[in-house]
Amino acid sequence: MWFGKTTSTFCGTPEFMAPEIILEQRYGRMVDWWAFGVLIYEMLLGQSPFRGDDEDEIFDAILEDEPLYPIHMPRDSVSILTRLLTKDPARRLGASEADAAEIKSHLFFKDTNWDDVFHKRIPSPFYPAISSATDTSNFDKEFTSEQPTLTPVHSTLSAKDQQEFAAFDWSASWA
């Protein structure tokens, strides 16, 4: 979405929805920076900044609560989270026409080489040990013990539509 453009669709994963979506206001790309803040918070602290037992409680928390930050959390982490999780979208980090450049220049990313990120030269900090292509030992049993429900395929993609995915790194052998 271009700078200054807005939409009004009510959609998204509840924990990641920005206040303006919940309030059914028109919104722009700042909702993505809000969701990015939620993602960083979850990656750093292992929990959502806005909790509740159901969607309504989560929405209330997003609208009314401020995230809590542990005393030991680095200042640059608190700073970027505070700026991304600003309830007023016009004041949110990334809201200016500079967009991602504003976020990339934040102190939180001071050691990030964006050229290496772009060219996929950053080694993964974790490589899970797997014994085969079907090894699920790195997933919680709560999920791997569930019986999957497959969505029936109504038709195959046309050759023209399939071509849209030609540059993808992976495609099913049966596609």
* Domains of the chain and CATH, by start: 14-118 (1.10.510.10)
Encoded tokens for 152: 């029936």
- DSSP assignment letter at 109: G
The predicted structure's pLDDT at residue 82:
98
Rg (CA), the chain: 20
What residue type is assigned to position 5 of the chain?
K
Residue-wise pLDDT tens digits, 53-67: 999 999 999 999 999
Encoded tokens for 156: 């195959």
Q: Are the beta carbons of 25 and 34 closer than 8 angstroms?
A: no
Q: Comparing 172 with 134, which gets the higher pLDDT?
A: 134
3-state secondary structure of 146: coil
Q: In Å, what is the CA distance from 101 to each residue of 1, 52, 104, 109?
A: 16, 33, 5, 11
pLDDT value at 8 more than 60: yes
Residue-wise pLDDT tens digits, 95-120: 988 889 999 999 999 999 999 999 99
pLDDT value at 141 more than 80: yes
Q: Which of 21, 25, 51, 46 is nearest to 35 (CA)?
A: 21
CA angle 100, 104, 110 (to 5 degrees): 175
